[in-house]
Structure formats: structure tokens, C-alpha cells
């Protein structure tokens, strides 16, 4: 008989991806999901919620986190449907466009929605400033983004879906945060029994 192999532990997490329409949520997710990191120039606007999954290994462990990524429409028309689909989130990525003051201002509205859906549970999250490739059109500074993230208790990241820059970091950060939270809760439960 050969050596016994440890089983891979899969931990699942529901991750909401929220922001105003046209901030690049779908392009960010599709680029992140793509093994070739190809940026598609044409996207259909998300109607309601699209759900995609990705399994990400946690470094130096036998565990993986399976992210259920809820790509939520930013249109007001779908807000009720998005609210129903987003109950009990584990993680959140709030996205804004660095060239749009309106998308930046709406971040707090989406954050409040997440807090309401979390039903008192803390939700780990990041604030992602997208479209940093548009340097000449940028109106939201990194400092303003970091300040808002700090105010909301989120971690700030920025990048460009179009240029495939900075996209992996927020996802890997959230995977590690979720794994730590899961491990801490599991250890606490073991101590109680």
C-alpha cells in the first residue's frame, strides 16, 4: 500500500461583487476567471445576478476555498432581485470606476445593503478601484479610495481589468481571510466540545 494522501478540504464562500453599472465588475470577474487572462472588449450588461465559481488553493495548506462569485447588476431596476439573491454573504468586493464620482459615491449604498443582508454577521471585504489604466481621466485619487475603505472597514485595492493588473490580489486576500476565519471558528468549536 502506498502512502496515504491527505484529503483536500474545500471551504465554500459566497462573495458578492457589487458596484454601479459599467464600473467593470463583469470584465474584472471574466478576466480573473480566464486562464489566458484575455480581456473581452464586449460584454452584455448583467441583468440581475450571474453566479460563477472558482476553486482557489490556500497556500501552505491542504485546503481550498470555492468562491461562489455573485456578479450583481448595478442598475436600480434590479436592486430588489440583487437584494434577495445576496442574503447571508461571506465576503464582498465593492467596485468603483476611478473616472466616475457617481460610482464612488454609490459604494456606501452598496455597503449598507451588504450590512443589512449580513444579519449582524461581520462580512470581510475589499474596495476595488477599477480602470486605473485611464490615468488622464482619473478623478478619484488613491487616497480618497483608501480613506473610504478604512471608513467602511474594508481593504483597498486598485487595478485595471483591461490591462489585467491588480485583479488577483483582492481575490487571494479574501480567500486567505475566509480561510483564517473558518479555521478560527473551527478551533473555537473544538475547544467547546
Instruction: Check if the beta carbon of residue 14 is closer than 8 Å to that of residue 91.
Output: yes
Q: Which three cell numbers stand for residue 38?
A: 484575455
* pLDDT tens string 39-55: 555 555 554 577 889 99
Q: Is the model's pLDDT at 37 over the cut of 60?
A: no
**Cα(79)–Cα(49) distance, integer angstroms:** 10
Q: Find, among 156, 161, 173, 131, the residue nearest to 26 by Cα.
A: 161
**Partners of 129 in the β-ladder:** 96, 158
What φ, ψ does residue 145 adopt, rounded to 5°? -65, -45
Which of 16-30, 106-120, 125-139, 171-185 shows the highest mean pLDDT?
A: 125-139
* pLDDT tens string 95-134: 999 999 999 999 999 998 888 887 767 789 999 999 999 9
pTM equals 0.84
Place of cell 471574466: 30
Amino acid at each position: 500500500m502506498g502512502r496515504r494522501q491527505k484529503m483536500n478540504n474545500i471551504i465554500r464562500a459566497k462573495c458578492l461583487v457589487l458596484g454601479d453599472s459599467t464600473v467593470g465588475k463583469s470584465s474584472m470577474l471574466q478576466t480573473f476567471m480566464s486562464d489566458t487572462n484575455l480581456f473581452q472588449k464586449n460584454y452584455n450588461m448583467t441583468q440581475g445576478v450571474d453566479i460563477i465559481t472558482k476553486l482557489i488553493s490556500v497556500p501552505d495548506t491542504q485546503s481550498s476555498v470555492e468562491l461562489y462569485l455573485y456578479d450583481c447588476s448595478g442598475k436600480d431596476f434590479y436592486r430588489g432581485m440583487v437584494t434577495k439573491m445576496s442574503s447571508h454573504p461571506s465576503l464582498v468586493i465593492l467596485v468603483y470606476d476611478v473616472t466616475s464620482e457617481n460610482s464612488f459615491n454609490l459604494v456606501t449604498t452598496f455597503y449598507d445593503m451588504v450590512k443589512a443582508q449580513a444579519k449582524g454577521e461581520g462580512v470581510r471585504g475589499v474596495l476595488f478601484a477599477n480602470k486605473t489604466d485611464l490615468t488622464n481621466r482619473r478623478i478619484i485619487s488613491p487616497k480618497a479610495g483608501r480613506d473610504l475603505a478604512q471608513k467602511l472597514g474594508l481593504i483597498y485595492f486598485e487595478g485595471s481589468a483591461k490591462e489585467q493588473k491588480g485583479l488577483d490580489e483582492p481575490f487571494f486576500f479574501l480567500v486567505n481571510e475566509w480561510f483564517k476565519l473558518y479555521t478560527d471558528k473551527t478551533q473555537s468549536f473544538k475547544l467547546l466540545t
